[in-house]
Amino acid sequence: MRGQAGRGDRGRDVDRSGERGRRRESRALGAFADGVHARVPHHPRAAACSGVLAVVTMEAGWVVTEVGRQPWIVYNLMKVEAAATGNTGVWITFIGVIVLYLALGVTTIVVLRSMSRRFRRAGGFVDIDTPYGPAPEPEPAKTVEPEPAKPRSLSREHRGRGRAAGRHRDLRRVRRRRLRRRILGPDRRREANHVWLIFIFVLTWTAFPAVFQSITLTMFVPLAIAAFGIVLRGASFAFRKTVVTVRVRRVFGGLFALSSVLVPFCFGAIAGGIASGRVPAGGKAGDPVGSWLNRTSLVTGGLAVVLAAYLAAVYLVRDARRAGDTDLAGYFRRRAVLSAVAAAVVAVIGFVVLSASAPHVFDRLISWALPPVVLSVLCGFGALVLLVRGAARGGRVLAVVAVACIIFSWGVAQWPYLLPESVTVSAAAAPTGTLITLLVAVGLAVLIVLPGFVLLYVLDQRRLLPEEGVEDAADRIVDTEAG
């Protein structure tokens, strides 16, 4: 108890020191801006123009690079016309990218203008924790307490209880949102999670270029949807933190939730399409629709969504306990139990579907890959028992091992094929020199990048990273209720 109290005191000291530091930075930034503006009257206009000019300069550099190397894409080896894809579906992706980024650009302008209006209404730089956020509201005046009300009728009493229950649900919803925002933000913490995806793509197209070509040509639709979902997820989370209107925040929250479901589903559907042999070999394009909208892909996509929800709920149980919110921890614990049961049901359905659509993968799942499958079942059952009993330790580790064993068993079941029963790993591999260089680059990347990830994780677990964004009006209600 004494150690826990000491850690709590240290955490409060860190929070107070961080708050004082942010206030000093705000005052220093305000003094610097006032001094520069006094010497250079048109400084704000010059600053606005410099942002646009920086983007123009960067894009001009890309234009010079791409135009200057024409007609070669690899000098003296391959021309651009020989390297260009023959897939006509690339126009769909191109138009989708233009529409998406036009929408994000317009949204960015609207959000920045609203932040500017709040800044002007606040009278410039003020001593608050959130730059460009709403000014602190004045404390409400004290009111005289009314006389005790007369006893109400039974029907009015029931209505009052209903309103109280609804109020409790609203407050818990706000606490859930605050916990998720604290876990997912700041942006650098969330963007670090996308590094692994870029890493996998780079490894695949470097080590297995022909297979990568077949997969991207056949699965360009789910890959495009997943890419749009990743961009939309990050943008929605960032925009939601900078707006204060409840209706607009709900729109961004809905987009965040939708993209959080679409991304794992698309990647799971791609894995199912590859396992069921719907990606042709030789760098050719397969069916752009049937390759990922089939029984196997739908089951594997659904399994990916359920497993992501399960892990998220398990981690949120731990984070809610660390925040001292037992009610919220119980809520996420129930969600984790339901997600675990749903994952087990979908996994059983997946076995049945694989036996008919991917017999090679199914046969190895019940033979060579059986040990990791059994380990996944045991760890999943152990995690479920700990969750039901409300144990404080062990559940998260067992849940992670259970999901990791599912992914590992899938790889063992598909071995030695990258594209089942058509292309093996050895046949699709790049030349030996390329693989050796790739291994050296991966080793250097691990030595350089991994310490940063470890440091980021440690700081996140100790809650030493500052929070960002605008405080919800509903968050102040929670603070009032708790106080």
At residue 82's C-alpha, the angle toward residues 212 and 283, to 5°, is 25
Residue 192, pLDDT > 80, answer no
Find the mean pLDDT for residues 53-72. 87
| pLDDT interval class at 340 (50, 70, 90) | very high
> So what's the pLDDT on residue 183?
54
Contact indicator for 289, 269 with CB cutoff of 8 Å: no
Q: How far apart are CA 340 and CA 311, in angstroms?
A: 9
- Asked if pLDDT for residue 127 goes beyond 50, the answer is no
Instruction: Write down the pLDDT at residue 269.
Output: 95
| Res. 466 pLDDT band, cuts 50 70 90 | low
Is residue 13 pLDDT above 90, yes or no?
A: no
Which is higher by pLDDT, 302 or 182?
Answer: 302
| Most confident option among 136-140, 175-179, 327-331 | 327-331
Mean pLDDT on 61-78 = 85
If pLDDT is split at 50, 70 and 90, which confidence band does 417 have? very high
Query: What backbone phi and psi angles, to 5 degrees, belong to 323?
Result: -80, -5
Q: What is the pLDDT of residue 347?
A: 93
Reply yes or no on whether the pLDDT at 151 is more than 80: no
Q: Per-residue pLDDT averaged across 353-373, rounded?
A: 91
Locate the domains of the chain by residue range.
39-84
Is residue 248 scored above 50 in pLDDT? yes
Higher pLDDT, 460 or 108: 108
Average pLDDT of the residues in 197-216: 88
Split at pLDDT 50, 70, 90, the class of 307 is very high
Determine the pLDDT at residue 436. 94
User: What average pLDDT score do residues 348-364 get?
Assistant: 91
Greater confidence (457 vs 165) lies with 457
Q: What percent of the chain is predicted at pLDDT more than 70? A: 71
Q: What does the pLDDT look like over 153-173, one tens digit per residue?
A: 545 554 545 555 555 555 556
The chain-wide mean pLDDT, for the chain, equals 77
Report the pLDDT averaged over residues 427-448. Answer: 91
- 65-79, 228-242, 256-270, range with greatest mean pLDDT: 256-270
Residue 282 pLDDT: 84
Does residue 204 register a pLDDT over 60?
yes
pLDDT at 5 exceeding the cut of 50 = no
Report, as an integer, the average pLDDT of 332-339: 91
Name, in order, each residue with C-beta under 8 angstroms of 454's C-beta and a sequence gap of 6 or more.
none
**pLDDT band for position 271 (cuts 50, 70, 90):** very high
More confident: 227 or 114: 227
